[in-house]
Homo-oligomer: A and B are copies of this chain.
Amino acid sequence: MQGQMMNQPLLISSLLVHAERHHGNQEIVSRRTEGDIHRYSYRDLAERARRMANALERLGVGFAQRVGTLAWNGYRHLELYYGASGAGVVLHTLNPRLHPDQLVWIADDAEDQVMFFDLTFLPLIEATASRFRTVRHFVLMADRAAMPKDSAIPGLICYEDLLEQASDDYDWPMFDENTASSLCYTSGTTGNPKGVLYSHRSTILHAYGSALPDSCGLSARDVVLPVVPMFHVNAWGTPYAALMVGAKLVFPGPALDGKSLYDLFEAEGVTFSAGVPTVWQGLLAHVEENGLQFSSMNRTVIGGSACPPAMIEAFEGKYGVQVLHGWGMTEMSPLGTVCALKPGQDRLSEDAQMRIKRKQGRAIFGVDMKIVDAEGAELPWDGETSGELLVRGPWILQSYFNRADTPLIDDRAGLGWFPTGDVATIDADGFMQITDRTKDVIKSGGEWISSIDLENIAMGHPAVAMAACIAAHHPKWDERPLLLVMPKPGKSVTRDEILACFDGRVPRWWLPDDVVFVDSIPLGATGKMQKNKLRETFRGYRLPTI
């Protein structure tokens, strides 16, 4: 028997309609690529998004076709978020930091029909325009005055002209909520990038989950500044959650340095922000150097990679800004966990609280997680045992774009779980902590050793610039840790001094079997150590037998 409630699909356009009707005067403030500050209301956004929907139709973009964006966080990008997805077109946000070859490959794979791009990326598009296989129109997201006189791009369209020529009379279509809404590629360390194709349903459910008090806790009185880019998993969903609750939105454009961010935070009364640790490093440095304080910001989500405890301490202790340590993945829309305290934990000692806050947190309703051993058996939640982290939920990937095969692993009940590739512990209260990546963890005699833990300890030595720990083959234990150490310039350190660092800080059987000093450790485009290259270099390395 079916319930007898309204059959109303969860559509992205309904966020815009709600924001226009119930929060029409709320502000959206953007630092533009042109340099100035732009401000308008949700009502204006809705009008221009309707124009965009009509404009896309005029450009010949059909239902479910993809349009690409290469853009910073700003109001025009937001108009595409709603104008494209609302009309049933799939918004494909590209990461401009990728290599041009990869960008072209991704746009081709997605079969993007139109490419929208910010002024910043004009040279990039001029250099690559002829190589895109499916892109029929290029649109520069700028005022007419900023348009180049001569451009190598054939038929280059001015975004403002495009909107001006389109009518703002448009009725958002109703369709199945499982329809694709947006596309974001994730670049693994091996193979080609893979697309994650979100649906209207997954996007709306994620917005509900992310706005809850124990997630981002968003209300109409919040002023939300997403530092995390709109080309990076939809700025963690903030452009959707903000409209859901009617919060003011502030976009930083391309100016992500500490001073520019701080000035915008203060000028616009930002209360909530979200970003990766490296961006906050720059912001904190600026605030510290100039003896400043935050007058309105009261909390921020930090994720993307583990937040250094010193950063949590600085934000909370010195500046009164609550840090919400979070974890997610492109395949998860992205939010999976947020580290919001449980009852009673806020009365623990500072040290005990900090031990909790270092963890990535607990699951939002909509996400379930478990840790499993190599055979897929669920491991205990004791805060000690580590295993591969698997997740499932309505905003988590089933299969990659254009691929029929699924990475999911079925449990005994036939339910599919997405293997995150992360290794983690979960404690009795459900707080999860990432300890490693599955491909980096060292499997010694069936037990796991965290490469990250060993690296962090080695990097605590004053003479060490960088350290990487990889698995080396061992005849008896299968794998044993091999520690690669890059000393600081002009400093020297011995094998025994390094090994002494581990005394009493890890189980004895975790001790690296060997330490090798190297001149350099290869880093990827995002600043992460390329352990796969190191593993290749040290393939066949023979550990000393003791």
Q: Identify which of B245, B365, B398 contacts A4 (C-beta below 8 A).
A: B398
Q: Indicate whether A202 sits within 8 Å of B3 (C-beta atoms), given known contacts A208-B209, A211-B212.
A: yes
Report whether B394 and A8 are in contact in the complex, using a CB–CB cutoff of 8 Å.
yes
Within 8 Å by CB of A245, from B64, B214, B396, lies B214
Chain B residue numbers with a CB within 8 Å of A64 are 1
Complex interface bits, A169-212 against B, C-beta within 8 A gives 1, otherwise 0: 00100001011110000000000000011111110010011011
Q: Is A294 an interface residue (CB 8 A)?
A: no
B398 touches A365 (CB 8 A): no
User: Which residue of the partner chain, among B4, B25, B221, contacts A341 with CB atoms under 8 Å?
Assistant: B221
Contact A220 B399 (CB under 8 A): no
Select one of B10, B15, B209, B340 contacting A219, CB under 8 A.
Answer: B340
A342 close to B430 (CB less than 8 A): no
Residues of A340-354 at the interface with B, using a CB-CB cut-off of 8 Å, are: 340-343, 346
Q: Which of A16-24, A153-161, A250-258 contacts B (4 or more CB under 8 A)?
A: A16-24
A7 within 8 A of B: yes
A220 in complex: contacting residue of B178, B199, B208, B340, CB < 8 Å: B340
Q: Given A220-B343, A342-B220 in contact, is the A5-B244 Cβ separation under 8 Å?
A: no
Q: Using a CB-CB cutoff of 8 Å, which residues 459-481 of chain A contact chain B?
A: none
- CB proximity of A98 to chain B, nearest CB, Å: 22
CA distance A64 to B196 in the complex (A): 37
Q: Shortest Cβ distance from A441 into chain B, in angstroms? A: 24
- What's the least CB distance linking A68 to chain B, in Å? 16
Q: Which residue of B lies closest to A406 (CB)?
A: B4
The answer to whether B179 touches A1, judged by C-beta atoms less than 8 angstroms apart, is: yes
The reply to whether B5 and A90 contact each other, CB–CB distance below 8 Å, is no
Contacts of A217 in B (CB 8 A): 213, 219
B21 contacts A199, C-beta separation under 8 Å: no
Cα distance A245–B430 when bound, in Å? 13
> Which single member of B18, B180, B212, B346 contacts A368 (CB below 8 Å)?
B18
Chain B residue with minimal CB distance to A197? B4
Given the interface pairs A219-B213, A368-B17, the reply to whether A197 lies near B399 with Cβ below 8 Å is no
Nearest CB of chain B from residue A129's CB, rounded to whole Å: 26
Q: In whole angstroms, how far apart are the Cα atoms of A205 and B204 in the complex?
A: 10
Closest-CB distance, A136 to chain B (whole angstroms): 19
Inside 8 A of A244's CB, which chain B residues have their CB?
Answer: 212, 365
Q: Are A365 and B214 in contact (CB under 8 A)?
A: no
A7 to B397, CA, bound (A): 9
Contact among B6, B25, B342 for A397, CB-based, below 8 A: B6
Q: Are B213 and A245 in contact, CB atoms less than 8 angstroms apart? A: yes
Bound CA–CA A196/B3 (angstroms) = 9
Q: Please tell me if A362 contacts chain B, counting CB pairs below 8 Å.
A: yes
Q: Please, which residues of chain B bring their CB within 8 A of the CB of A245?
A: 212-214, 365
A498 adjacent to chain B (CB < 8 Å): no
A209 to chain B, nearest CB (A): 7
Which residues of B lie under 8 Å from residue A209 when comparing CB positions?
Answer: 208
Given contacts A214-B219, A245-B212, A340-B220, contact A18 B365 (CB under 8 A): yes
Say yes or no: B246 contacts A342, CB within 8 Å: yes
| CB-based contact A342/B221 at 8 Å | yes
A395 sits at the interface (CB 8 A)? yes
